[in-house]
Amino acid sequence: MLLKNKIALITGASSGIGKATAKLFVKEGAKVVLSDLNDEEGNKLIEELNKDQKTAVFLKADVAKEKDHKKLVDLALSEFKKLDIAVNNAGIGGPQAKTGDYLSEDWNHVINVNLNGVFYGMKHQIKAMKQNGSGCIINISSILGKVGTQNSPAYVTAKHGMNGLTKAAALEHAEDNIRINSVGPGYILTPLLENNLDQQTLEMLKELHALKRLGKSEEVSELIAWLASDKASFVTGSYYPIDGGYLSQ
């Protein structure tokens, strides 16, 4: 078991990459604190994970609010006595529009969730991990944290910013034995894509990848689990794309 006796916090855990990661973490021996705005799906997941023994708790949380991150960390400490791993996965795509036409309120919302939310999370997660004398944080970025695309200026900005924040924090907290990395998925077949894009658009997205398909949440979760484990003990401050060759073209 890669994560035996580890305590992990995962945001955006009700679906997609977050859900797949929660399932894999428990399979690998971790206990998990999960959060999402979708508490109905979150509680269903908790029931599934706790079928044999208590391995998971859920708290409805808005990652754009710093107080909710403190509640999540406090829950980990009260339920499981420590926090070893955090996966800052929650994020939104935001509306599609050119920079010159992008509404300020939409910009602020995307930045608050996708960038400020990661900062707030890390701020409180690091404090808890310092009490242990070690820890590991994985921030879920995107291929669009390395390159641009049209009509998503806020999303691209937030993901680029997240990668910079990850590197800065990794340098600052290496002395605390806390490893911090980011993962950059390509287009992954999650409910976010399936519910918002038609089949023609999905087929077009497949062609952007060298492997000519979309990724699976379970594939991304395998990379996250490795980074969270002691097998990645010499890895910090890095960005790991998992993109079917998107960035190589």
Separation of alpha carbons 140 and 18, rounded Å: 10
From the list 120, 155, 187, 240, the catalytic residue is 155
Asked whether residue 212 is assigned to any structural domain, the reply reads: no
In DSSP notation, 72-104 reads: HHHHHHHHHS---EEEE----------GGG--H
Contacts of 222 (CB under 8 A, 6+ apart): 24
Asked whether residue 204 is assigned to any structural domain, the reply reads: no
Average of pLDDT values for 130-158?
97
Asked whether residue 192 is assigned to any structural domain, the reply reads: no
Residues pairing with 215 in the sheet: 188
187 is known as an active-site residue: no
% pLDDT > 70, the chain: 100
pLDDT band (50, 70, 90) for residue 194: confident
Side-chain-facing half-sphere of 27: CA atoms under 13 Å: 10
Q: What is the pLDDT of residues 216-243, one digit of tens each?
A: 999 999 999 999 999 999 999 999 999 9
Asked whether residue 79 is assigned to any structural domain, the reply reads: yes
Range of the domain at 71: 7-187+217-242
pLDDT of residue 171: 98
Q: What is the pLDDT of residues 77-87, one digit of tens each?
A: 999 999 999 99
pLDDT band (50, 70, 90) for residue 198: confident
- Do the Cβ atoms of 180 and 166 come closer than 8 Å? yes
pLDDT of residue 52: 84
Asked whether residue 167 is assigned to any structural domain, the reply reads: yes
Give the predicted TM-score (pTM) of the model.
Answer: 0.96
Asked whether residue 16 is assigned to any structural domain, the reply reads: yes
Asked whether residue 199 is assigned to any structural domain, the reply reads: no
Q: Total structural domains in the chain?
A: 1
- Do the Cβ atoms of 58 and 34 come closer than 8 Å? yes
Asked whether residue 198 is assigned to any structural domain, the reply reads: no
Residue 169 phi/psi, 5-degree rounding, is -65, -35
Q: What is the CATH number of the domain that holds 152?
A: 3.40.50.720
